[in-house]
Amino acid sequence: MATQATWYGRYGVAAEAGVSTAADVRRVRLEAYRLRALPNEDVYFYRKAIDNSRLVRESNPQANARCFRVIATTSALTLLLLVLLWPKAYGIIAGYQIESLKSQQQKLLVEQRALEIKEATLLSPERLEEMAKYQQFIDPAPGQVVHLNPKADGSLAMNVPSK
């Protein structure tokens, strides 16, 4: 069984063993080097069972009550603080949201107005006329359009008896 002290002090064994000369020390060290053990080869751990079952906590009702009072008071104060601060905090959060939505609304209104302007520009009579010319849409020549004159009963067509 080895302790940590043994472990850390194992290279000091030579000095403690009365080796004084430099040649001896070198020899011991060389030997130690040559014969160095595997790491932790000489370390052993063991479990020591301790039985605390006989220990009994002494009951202290006053301390318990004081503890509960502190917890209750702190909780109540925290709750009160929350209740008092919540509307304010909520108001600030809501304020941010409202202002953000207002800004968004304004942006959308501007965008809508910009689109209206664009639409009006695209629908200008001059542009439509140019497009119509490009598409070769032309006004019908005089006489090319036949207007049906409705009869008294409102009918626009009639069957002509074949001769």
Partner 1 sequence: MTRKTADPATKRLAILAGLALFWVAIIGLKLLKLQVVEHHAYLRLAEQQQRRGVELEAPRGAVLDRNGEPLALSLPVESVCINPKRAPELTVVSGLLAPILGLDRHELYGRLKDAAARGRGFLWVKRRISLDEAERLRSLRLDWIEFRHESRRHYPKGMLAAHVLGAVDHRERGNAGIEQGFDEVLRGRAGKARLLTDVQQRSILAQIAAEAQPGSDVILTIDERIQHIAERELANAVTSNSCTSGSIVVMNPHTGDILALASYPTFDPNSTVGSAGDMESRANQAVSVPFEPGSVFKVITLTAALETTPLRPESIIPCGSGRINLFGRVIRDHRSYSSLSMADVLANSSNIGAIQVGLRVGERRLLEYVRRFGFGTTTGVPLPGESAGLVRELKNWGKSSIGSVAMGHEISTTTVQLAQAVGVIANGGTVVAPKLVLKVRKPNGRTETEPVKPGHRIIQPETAITMRKMMEGVVLHGTGKLARLNGYTAGGKTGSAQIFDLQNKRYTHQYNASFMGFAPVTNPALVAVVTLNGASRYGGAVAAPVFREVVTAALRLMDVPRDLPDAPPSREDGPVEFDDLAIADLGSPAPTLPEPGIPDQVARVELWGPTIPDFHGKTMRAVVEESSERGLPVSLIGSGIARAQMPAAGSILPLGGRITVQFAR
Interacting residues with partner 1 (CB under 8 A): 92, 95-96, 98-99, 102-103, 106-107, 109-111, 113-114, 116-118, 120-121, 123-126, 129, 141-143, 145-149, 157, 160
Q: Tell me, rounded to whole angstroms, the distance of Cα 74 from its chain centroid.
A: 32
Q: Are the CB atoms for 84 and 91 separated by under 8 Å?
A: no
Beta carbon of residue 62, minimum distance to partner 1 (angstroms, whole number): 17
Beta carbon of residue 8, minimum distance to partner 1 (angstroms, whole number): 32
* Shorter beta-carbon distance to partner 1: residue 62 or 159: 159
Q: Are the CB atoms for 149 and 158 separated by under 8 Å?
A: no
Beta carbon of residue 149, minimum distance to partner 1 (angstroms, whole number): 6
Rounded-to-integer distance, Cα 85 and Cα 138, Å: 74
* Shorter beta-carbon distance to partner 1: residue 40 or 60: 60
E-only strand ranges, the chain: none
Q: Which residue has the tokens 């207002």?
A: 102
